[in-house]
């Protein structure tokens, strides 16, 4: 991981008030030693089996067990027969950090546009975490305050929020997309920045309005490292609390897929081919310079290597055009050449462009997708052509509403491919060897429940086993976020569905006591000037009876010159109610990585939706109800792209700077630095075999 650090420029904070807003006029008194002790005692009293220390104890080295483990030990021992690898010992969880995670979080219940005045902000510290509480005064008949939180890198925050600088390498975002920018919004006591002087993890907050002038705002909290967090939204009174752990459970060896093992670079049993910088490259020896086998002014955009590794088919576009930057199809055709390079020739040119070539298991036929019109929306059809040349043949009838892509060969000459309609519908088609086309995706989308709503809303790209006996495809859920992994037989019947996720209802929110024990009062230390925004609600709503009292001191600083600075006193009640974020059981995303030559599938699960940390597990599927855990880890910022087996070793792409978004699905980032790693499952050796300055878009 390469953290990126930025500074907030003075020019940014001079933006008009409508672009960057934050609550002003707040100062919080510091936490006393006696209150710190009271907080610790409260945590211990509420936890019968608490550990002797309120912080997580991290063990940098993992104690090996008698079971062979594929991992970072200097001399790993891996048995040829796959056995389940136990997880390494984990630290005892701190009860004070219940509900904290790197997962994106959202408040439960109804969401939508709401009208509310931001009346108070309070920063406070606890032994294990710090938090900021925002108090709202909703308008009559307003929808409830709703929010979502996520942690991103500073560069992603710049892309998402239009910031050019940031003072921290990570940013915790609290999004309020439904906050109406009405009179209640504008009547909040606001400035452009808020700085906290007594909390060390949370040192300040920015509020940035969305591009929509009528609704939406985002709170940004800079962090020095990736830290678990928790979002809570309470009702009566309405308070939004974002809490951040003081320490991170992630250590340098957390990302196991990027930890070398075996004492040296793993060895390739055959050449590795990959798309890099618009050309096809061949790597024969790890660490050596690869060979550019196309080396042409045109751009190669997709490829497939024949089963005997003697030929490559690929899509080639006209020179001077960058397909990654084009909105319309770039003219291209299907070409073929030997894997040694130098003898490329056109194989087929249908329609406007070429995509997704795939060799049949016997190496005699190639299937590929063709954009027949070049207009939007894209309308692709599947064609097949002999690898020795000839007239391409359409795989299905013409003239319907489906755009077909990503063909994969199955046993006996059958083809399976994904399809997308203009109205968003998605399915899988299977063309039998005799030419009959069957919609095998429809029964999977509906499921066995027989209800009115579909179980899945669409499919990803199918990935067939090397012998065509099975195929794996991601099924995008319709009721919860993410994707399951469906494994089909060659006839299209479902063998197994891996993943599965359901919603976990949040615990009920305790009702606030009728007689409040304290209030939060804003008292300006000077008379506001003409430029100050009046605050008609100087006294916050009564708070629930707290179990512990924690008071901190903060300085609200208006960055632009000429804006008065106030020093009010706020009494906070920071002990949070149970969090009200949505939770799910089961992995967020399950996707296939690669099939080996024995018909076993390596697949990866990502435990939760996160825009920063990919908490993953890698398994080997060996048949129905037979999946072995191979490795588990956590990756910060970087993520994983294409993968392919080369002999007994699986090569995979590590993308160092993926585009902003959720971690878990296949990553393709043409501009990001990347690495190719190789994991030899026979010897246990694992290591990087090639470093690229820009993205690697395909691997075979």
pLDDT of residue 145: 95
Long-range pairs for 396-402: beta carbons < 8 A, 24 or more residues apart: 396/429, 396/431, 396/437, 397/437, 402/427, 402/429
Coil vs helix vs strand at 86? coil
User: Would you place residue 252 in the very low, low, confident or very high pLDDT band (cuts 50, 70, 90)?
Assistant: confident
pLDDT of residue 190: 62
Coil vs helix vs strand at 185? helix
| pLDDT above 90 (res 691) | yes
Beta strand pairing status for 215-223 and 204-209?
antiparallel
Per the model's pLDDT, the better-predicted residue between 389 and 3 turns out to be: 389
pLDDT in tens, 433-464: 999 999 999 999 987 655 556 889 999 999 99
| pLDDT above 50 (res 625) | yes
The alpha carbon dihedral of 381, 498, 582, 641 has a sign of negative
pLDDT in tens, 154-193: 888 888 876 645 578 999 999 999 999 999 999 886 656 7
Q: For the chain, what's the residue count?
A: 700
| pLDDT above 70 (res 242) | yes
pLDDT of residue 318: 82
CA atoms within 13 A on the CB side of 409: 22
Is residue 179 exposed (0-12), middle (13-18) or buried (19+ Cβ within 10 Å)?
A: buried
Q: Are 350 and 392 spatial neighbours (Cβ–Cβ below 8 Å)?
A: yes
Parse the chain into domains and list their residue ranges.
10-37+96-245, 308-465
Q: Are 223 and 171 spatial neighbours (Cβ–Cβ below 8 Å)?
A: yes
pLDDT in tens, 499-515: 987 766 655 544 433 33
Coil vs helix vs strand at 412? helix
Per the model's pLDDT, the better-predicted residue between 412 and 555 turns out to be: 412
Task: Give the H/E segment covering residue 445.
Answer: helix 441-446
Does this model's pTM top 0.85? My answer is no
- Rounded CA separation 630/642 (Å): 18
pLDDT in tens, 33-69: 333 333 333 333 333 333 333 333 333 333 333 333 3
CA atoms within 13 A on the CB side of 402: 18
Per the model's pLDDT, the better-predicted residue between 32 and 677 turns out to be: 677
User: Would you place residue 681 in the very low, low, confident or very high pLDDT band (cuts 50, 70, 90)?
Assistant: very high
| pLDDT above 60 (res 519) | no
Pick the CATH number of 308-465 from 2.60.120.10, 2.130.10.10, 1.10.357.10, 3.40.190.10: 2.130.10.10
User: Would you place residue 319 in the very low, low, confident or very high pLDDT band (cuts 50, 70, 90)?
Assistant: confident
pLDDT of residue 238: 96
Angle at 684 between CA 678 and CA 690, to 5 degrees: 20
Per the model's pLDDT, the better-predicted residue between 14 and 169 turns out to be: 169
Per the model's pLDDT, the better-predicted residue between 278 and 563 turns out to be: 278
Question: Which residues does 127 contact at the CB level (< 8 Å), separation at least 6?
Answer: 36, 39, 40, 43, 54, 55, 96, 246
- Rounded CA separation 407/358 (Å): 7
Per the model's pLDDT, the better-predicted residue between 365 and 67 turns out to be: 365
pLDDT of residue 506: 55
pLDDT of residue 372: 85
Q: How far apart are the first and last CA of the chain?
A: 26
């Amino acid at each position: 991981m390469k953290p990126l650090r930025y500074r907030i420029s003075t020019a940014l904070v001079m933006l008009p008030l409508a672009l960057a807003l934050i609550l002003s006029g707040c100062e919080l008194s510091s936490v006393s030693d006696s209150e710190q002790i009271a907080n610790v005692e409260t945590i211990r009293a509420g936890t019968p089996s608490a550990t002797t220390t309120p912080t997580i104890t991290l063990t940098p080295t993992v104690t090996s067990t008698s079971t062979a483990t594929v991992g970072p030990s200097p001399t790993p021992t891996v048995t040829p027969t796959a056995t389940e690898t136990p997880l390494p010992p984990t630290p005892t969880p701190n009860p004070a950090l219940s509900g904290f995670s790197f997962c994106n979080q959202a408040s439960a219940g109804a969401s939508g546009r709401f009208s509310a005045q931001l009346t108070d902000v309070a920063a406070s510290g606890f032994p294990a975490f710090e938090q900021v509480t925002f108090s709202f005064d909703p308008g009559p008949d307003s929808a409830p305050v709703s929010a979502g939180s996520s942690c991103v890198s500073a560069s992603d925050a710049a892309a998402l929020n239009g910031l050019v600088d940031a003072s921290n390498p990570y940013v915790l975002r609290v999004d309020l997309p439904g906050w109406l920018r009405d009179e209640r919004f504008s009547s909040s006591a606001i400035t452009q920045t808020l700085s906290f002087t007594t909390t060390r993890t949370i040192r300040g907050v920015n509020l940035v309005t969305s591009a929509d002038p009528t609704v939406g705002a985002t709170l940004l909290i800079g962090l020095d490292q990736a830290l678990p967090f928790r979002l809570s939204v309470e009702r009566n009174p309405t308070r939004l609390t974002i809490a951040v752990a003081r320490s991170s459970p992630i250590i340098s060896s957390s990302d196991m897929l990027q930890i070398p093992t075996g004492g040296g670079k793993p060895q390739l049993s055959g050449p590795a081919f990959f798309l890099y910088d618009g050309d096809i490259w061949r790597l024969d020896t790890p660490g050596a310079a690869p060979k550019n086998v196309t080396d042409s002014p045109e751009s190669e955009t997709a490829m497939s290597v024949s089963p005997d590794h003697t030929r490559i088919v690929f899509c080639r576009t006209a020179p001077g055009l960058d397909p990654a930057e084009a909105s319309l199809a770039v003219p291209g055709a299907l070409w073929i050449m030997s894997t040694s390079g130098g003898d490329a020739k056109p194989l087929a040119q249908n329609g406007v462009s070429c995509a997704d070539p795939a060799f049949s298991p016997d190496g005699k036929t190639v299937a590929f997708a063709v954009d027949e019109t070049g207009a939007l929306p894209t309308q692709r059809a599947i064609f097949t052509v002999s690898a020795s040349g000839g007239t391409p043949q359409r795989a299905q009838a013409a003239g319907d509403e489906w755009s077909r892509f990503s063909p994969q060969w199955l046993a006996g000459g059958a083809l399976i491919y994904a399809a997308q309609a203009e109205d968003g519908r998605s399915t899988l088609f299977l063309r039998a060897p005799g030419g009959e086309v069957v919609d095998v995706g429809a029964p999977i989308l509906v499921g066995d429940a027989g209800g009115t709503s579909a179980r899945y809303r669409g499919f990803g790209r199918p990935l067939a086993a090397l012998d065509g006996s099975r195929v794996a495809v991601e099924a995008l859920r319709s009721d919860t976020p993410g994707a399951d992994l469906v494994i089909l037989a060659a006839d299209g019947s479902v063998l197994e569905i891996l993943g599965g996720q359901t919603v976990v209802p949040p615990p009920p929110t305790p009702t606030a006591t009728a007689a409040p024990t304290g209030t939060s009062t804003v008292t300006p230390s000077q008379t506001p000037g003409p430029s100050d925004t009046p605050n008609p609600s100087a006294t916050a709503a009564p708070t629930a009876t707290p179990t512990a009292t924690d008071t901190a001191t903060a300085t609200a600083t208006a960055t632009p010159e000429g804006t008065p600075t106030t020093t009010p006193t706020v009494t906070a009640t920071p002990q949070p109610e149970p969090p009200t974020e949505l939770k799910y059981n089961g992995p967020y995303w399950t996707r296939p990585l690669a099939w080996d030559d024995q018909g076993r599938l390596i697949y990866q699960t990502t435990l939760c939706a996160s825009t920063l940390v990919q908490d993953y597990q890698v398994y080997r599927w060996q048949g129905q109800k037979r999946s072995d855990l191979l490795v588990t880890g956590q990756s910060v910022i970087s993520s994983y792209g294409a993968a392919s087996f080369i002999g007994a070793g699986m090569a995979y792409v590590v993308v160092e700077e993926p585009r902003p978004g959720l971690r878990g699905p296949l990553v393709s980032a043409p501009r990001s630095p990347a690495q190719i790693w190789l994991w030899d499952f026979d010897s246990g050796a694992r290591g990087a075999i090639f470093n690229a300055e820009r993205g690697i878009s395909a691997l075979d």
